[in-house]
Structure 1
Amino acid sequence: MADPVSPPCSEIIDDIEDLVSTLSVVPKLRSRNKKPKVEKEKKIEDAVIEPAIGDNIPGTQNIYLKTWGCAHNSSDSEYMAGQLAAYGYRITEDKTAADLWLLNSCTVKSPAEDHFRNEINTAKKMGKHLVVAGCVPQGAPKASFVQGLSIIGVQQIDRVVEVVEETLKGNTVVMLGTKKQSGKKMGGASLLLPKVRRNPLIEIIAINTGCLNQCTYCKTKHARGDLGSYPPEEIVARAKQAFEEGVVEIWLTSEDTGTYGRDIGTSLPELLWKLVEVIPEGCRLRLGMTNPHIFWNI
């Protein structure tokens, strides 16, 4: 699937569209003896965004991005880094020099979730702007340690620039919606978004999100939800683009790759045959994990 405690003048906002971009113009007082008018507390829908000046100019700050978890999470982080870099933000590994921390979490193992919680506390102590993403806030948005923080849902990573920009202004934005198309759940954000690969030779492609099972012990199911497969033509287009950019290895990943296509009338073998046609000589394809009972029924 975020000041020591929280940014000053923080507003809790469900979506960026709810913000009003009108500039606040305060008239000068005409009399020294005249008392300034005290305005009533504004409602969220009346929130005013102050003009960005100086260090608040969007796209000029340093962003520290930390990722925990599976290849799918790593792919999400690469997409977020790509969009931020394309907008002008600088991705840095120096957390002390960063203006904002973007933490992409994992719920599969407790140690990863503990590290995520500890990193949040560290960012608060250092007075950093903070945005959290990934399966932890998506699956447990009411958890005490993410309250008051900006949150990006696992299907909202294509709006990371907006969330980062508003968080740097002191606003709190929460995006946990589910994308749908023609009444059906989609896999998530577009596969053709810009990317900053951690390894420039490897492209990680999430072919679907969620799964068909209902395992009682699995918190990832609560975060990623039911099966949502990407159309095969989008996956093939992403693979071709990656090879053209110098990638020599493709990783196909998801919560359960074996279930791919069952919600859109296709299958994993059909996808693999289409991908084989576009793999250049000397390059290779790796297939991620799947459940045994699904694998033998592909």
Structure 2
Amino acid sequence: MRIKLIAFGCSNNQAESEIMAGLLKEAGYEIVDAKADLTIVSMCNVKGPSFNKGLRAAKDAKGKVIISGCIPFSQIAKISKEIPRASIVSTHNICSIKNAVERLAKGERVELVGKKHSENLLSEAKGDFERKRENVCMPRIRKNKVIGIVPISSGCMGECSYCAVKAIKGELASYPVESIVKETEQCVKEGCKEIWLTAQDTGCYGTDIGKSLPELLNAVLTVPGDFKVRLGMANPNFVYGCVDEMVGIYKNPKMFRFMHIPVQSGSDNVLKKMNRHYTCAQFVEIVGKLRKAIPDITISTDIIVGFPEESDADFNESLDVIEKTKPSVLNLNRYWPMPETKAALMKQFRSEVLRERCSIMLKAFQRMALDEKKKAVGKELMVLIDDKVKGDSYIGRTDCYTPVGVKGKLVLGQMVRVKIVKATSNYLNGEKM
């Protein structure tokens, strides 16, 4: 059977898709990028449009279909109604994908949803059951051969009023430090030049097992080899307590000088309604400490505009925090009501308000980001080539994880010196020296 896998959303979802591909190849199935007998679509449920995009991909797929990834219980009936032929294997059951495919091949429609299925499917060897609780040290087929995506935990400690992911992923379950180090060693051995440590919230790593994020990072950075670590999203309330340790860690040359800290709103009033456990002042303090110690660090943050009951004054405070902290990357999102969330029950804004606020915020950010990136024009920088666009066009990453477009005869994983010739608000263009 020829099987194609499509993943939407975060790097953790991509990692789960790579694991399913590895498990299926290990079982003798052919993994393809084109025409397939079975398509496995890994869904993202962070925003409604992302989920709908996954549904469209599943509907358009030829042959048999399995829908996987972040699937809320409230959407299972909708999926079954819209795509009756689709089987469902939730995020907690990816290690049972071989079992699901075997049953599907016999003509069954399979539904493996929720943790209970994962806990009850003990037909696999005990070792497989143990490892299925940690999505590390698993067979993989990587989408990008030079990027090793290493999940460090599942679930989170938050209760954000707008987010449905907690209801799907559950409480925080941190993976052992030694397992993550072993996975990193394997990635490096297989030629990965970038290690992406990923989770729903990397900041709370270890809280449940008596460990901490700095402790994990220090262990990973002892792994020998030529690679750099990119840390995934970490929420401010957890970073705030370890920012001084993080400053020291970011000075290690194996770390990309890049930190993704989602503020979500510049208004403490809105943050309380979002049930985010920090203040805007704490976010600003974190950024200030990082920038003081590491002036060229890339700060990435997220903003939600149009959250229910966000006043004009609240929105202006979000503009102010972006002006004050000047992030290099802004993931800007219009608020989208998600099923099974408290915020979805609140009074919603008209779409016109969301569009207007999004436009104002985007223009303000692009102006600041362009001014900052223009400072790189004329400089010579070393970049790590980590993605191919098409033809002889590639994307490279600076030590601060800034994307640089480069053309030429290049190889993924190669370090090249480039001269920056152009800047936009989102990326740089360089010429190979």
Common fold: TM-score over 0.5:
yes
Any idea what SS the aligned residue of 1:155 has? helix
Aligned to 1:146, which of 77, 80, 90? 80
Q: Which structure carries more helix by proportion?
A: 2
Which residue of structure 2 aligns with residue 114 of structure 1?
52
Equivalent residues in 2 for 1:147-186 (5 A)? 148=84, 149-178=86-115
Give yes or no for contact 2:135–2:151 (8 Å, CA) kept in 1.
no
Aligned to 2:24, which of 78, 84, 92? 84
Distance 1:69 1:143 in 2: 22
Give yes or no for contact 1:156–1:188 (8 Å, CA) kept in 2.
no
Tell me, yes or no, if structure 1 residue 133 matches structure 2 residue 78.
Answer: no
Distance 2:93 2:132 in 1: 11
Give yes or no for contact 1:211–1:221 (8 Å, CA) kept in 2.
yes
Change (3 A) 1:237 1:259: same
Aligned to 2:147, which of 175, 193, 202? 202
Q: Matched residues, percent identical? A: 37
Change (3 A) 1:195 1:187: closer
Encode CA deviations 1:154-192: one digit per residue, 9 max, x unaligned.
121111111112112211222224267xxxxx9834411
Q: Which sections of structure 2, spanning at least 5 residues, go unmatched?
A: 120-130, 243-433
Distance 1:214 1:173 in 2: 31
Q: What is the CA-CA distance between 1:121 and the residue it aligns to? A: 2.4
Any idea what SS the aligned residue of 2:92 has? coil
Given residue 70 of structure 2, which amino acid in structure 1 is its aligned partner? C
Distance 2:77 2:8 in 1: 18
How many residues align structurally? 227
Aligned to 1:263, which of 197, 208, 216? 208
Give yes or no for contact 1:187–1:228 (8 Å, CA) kept in 2.
no
Q: Which sections of structure 1, spanning at least 5 residues, go unmatched?
A: 1-60, 181-185
Change (3 A) 1:139 1:287: farther
Any idea what SS the aligned residue of 1:65 has? strand
Distance 1:146 1:214 in 2: 28
Given residue 164 of structure 2, which amino acid in structure 1 is its aligned partner? K
Q: Which structure carries more strand by proportion?
A: 2
Distance 2:203 2:57 in 1: 34
Give yes or no for contact 1:209–1:255 (8 Å, CA) kept in 2.
yes
Any idea what SS the aligned residue of 1:194 has? coil
Which residue of structure 2 aligns with residue 42 of structure 1?
none
Distance 2:27 2:106 in 1: 16
Distance 2:231 2:43 in 1: 23
Which residue of structure 1 aligns with residue 13 of structure 2?
73
Any idea what SS the aligned residue of 2:195 has? strand
Change (3 A) 1:187 1:269: farther
Distance 2:158 2:93 in 1: 23
Distance 2:153 2:229 in 1: 17
Q: What is the CA-CA distance between 1:91 and the residue it aligns to? A: 1.5
Q: What is the CA-CA distance between 1:107 and the residue it aligns to? A: 0.5
TM-score by length of 1: 0.71
Give yes or no for contact 1:105–1:116 (8 Å, CA) kept in 2.
yes
Change (3 A) 1:102 1:216: same
Give yes or no for contact 1:188–1:209 (8 Å, CA) kept in 2.
no
Distance 2:205 2:29 in 1: 35
Which residue of structure 2 aligns with residue 284 of structure 1?
228
Distance 1:271 1:211 in 2: 17
Which residue of structure 2 aligns with residue 3 of structure 1?
none
Give yes or no for contact 1:209–1:254 (8 Å, CA) kept in 2.
yes
Tell me, yes or no, if structure 1 residue 252 matches structure 2 residue 190.
Answer: no
Give yes or no for contact 2:203–2:235 (8 Å, CA) kept in 1.
yes
CA-based RMSD of the aligned residues comes to: 2.0
Tell me, yes or no, if structure 1 residue 224 matches structure 2 residue 161.
Answer: no
Distance 1:101 1:120 in 2: 8
Distance 2:138 2:76 in 1: 30
Encode CA deviations 1:93-118: one digit per residue, 9 max, x unaligned.
22xx3111111000112221111122
Give yes or no for contact 1:64–1:93 (8 Å, CA) kept in 2.
yes
Given residue 229 of structure 2, which amino acid in structure 1 is its aligned partner? L
Q: What is the CA-CA distance between 1:274 and the residue it aligns to? A: 0.8
Higher mean C-alpha deviation, range 64-73 or range 112-121: 112-121
